Amino acid sequence: MIISKVKLKNWKNFSHVEIPLRERMFIVGPNASGKSNFLDVFRFLHDIAKPGGGLKKAIEDRGGITKVRALSARRFPDVEIEVELADFDSGTTLWKYALGFKYSKPSGTLLITFERVWKGEKLILDRPDKEDKKDELRLTQTHIEQMNANMEFREIAKNFESITYFHLVPQLLKFSGFFLGSNMAEDPYGKSFLQRVAKVSAKHRNAWLNKIEGALKVAVPRLKKLEYTEELGVPHLQAVYDHWRVNAAGKQREDQFSDGTLRLIALLWSLLDGGDSLLLLEEPELSLNSAIVAKLAPIIYKLQLPKKRQVVLSTHSVELLQDKGIDPLELAVLSPEKEGTHIRLASSIDEVKLLLDTGMSMGDIIPSFTSPDSIDKLPLFNL
């Protein structure tokens, strides 16, 4: 099941947008246009539905309602999110979930303005209901976060709960001992990535590492083998490299890997792990050689298809978008405007259609729609 459409009102950068989504989506736009904020919509739904989460905590974790609500929200202060969920193969809409909320000045609390669920075309939840009107405190919680209230549409709750965001920061993994403080429960930045690898059954771990090893042999010069090891109960990844000396081999552990090698391992692992849940990737091209980046789009497609897994990623990379297999329906272009960011499919832009017909790739075309208007003046800036 995939999220096939998103509607947003007053969510961060977006005053009012609606966009259909495919099994694989590329989100592009200038810096500060809202790519991360768009991905955060799905993380927000995850944070509501996950155990120990909920609407109140999801808002607090983002700094409060004022950090979530769009600055352009003046007359209409409500934040609204609506998503459609469809079958991966047929695209048939199975569910629709809509949520609105706002800060209530009289009560001093965050309240749900509406929560609705459709199963197919049938509306099966419509709040506020009679019980909500009797007790306003009920409107501080969604039904999607309550096991005793979401039985009829628990499939939606499970789908939201399984959404995964992963953006490995190599330094957190290499030098985890230097980064003090409490660990984030879901470890989105990879500080405990090796512990995640260790928790997988040996059968699956070895199978996935063998596949990753095959890719690394192509992408990383002289690498012969990638293996999982433990020392005093501490998990490690170890790479074996060809050495100039006969019958000698160089060995390195993860703290000696290049940033690009670690990020490629983590990217491939995240695509192999996680079942059929939505995977969110933020700029997966970071630290990678441009020749490798140019192959990421087909790699993602190849790995997601057997699992029927949706992947939504943000990128600035021209190389990543060079793949001729990218459909303009898979690419969402963000454009900052005075009253909020607009979002549209590349397929809806006439110039894109014309340029694609000439044989150009998305990587050739998209920079003209995402580069700042005055970028040519940057070298003239007086530093």
**C-alpha–C-alpha distance, residues 234 and 195, integer Å:** 8
Q: Give tens-digit pLDDT for 27-71.
A: 999 988 999 999 999 999 999 999 999 999 999 999 999 999 988
DSSP state of 182: P
Q: Give tens-digit pLDDT for 327-355.
A: 999 999 999 888 889 999 999 999 998 99
pLDDT > 90? residue 185:
no
pLDDT of residue 156: 96
pLDDT of residue 338: 84
pLDDT of residue 22: 96
Q: pLDDT-based confidence at 250, cuts 50/70/90?
A: confident
Q: pLDDT-based confidence at 106, cuts 50/70/90?
A: confident
- Percent of the chain whose pLDDT exceeds 70: 93
**C-alpha–C-alpha distance, residues 278 and 310, integer Å:** 5
pTM: 0.92
pLDDT of residue 76: 83
**C-alpha–C-alpha distance, residues 52 and 251, integer Å:** 42
Helices (H) and strands (E) in the chain, counts: 14, 15
**C-alpha–C-alpha distance, residues 62 and 47, integer Å:** 11
* Radius of gyration over every alpha carbon of the chain, rounded to an integer in angstroms: 23
Task: Output the six-digit token pair for 329.
Answer: 């329906």
| Mean pLDDT to the nearest integer, 100-128 | 92
pLDDT > 90? residue 237:
yes
pLDDT of residue 371: 75
- Percent of the chain whose pLDDT exceeds 90: 67
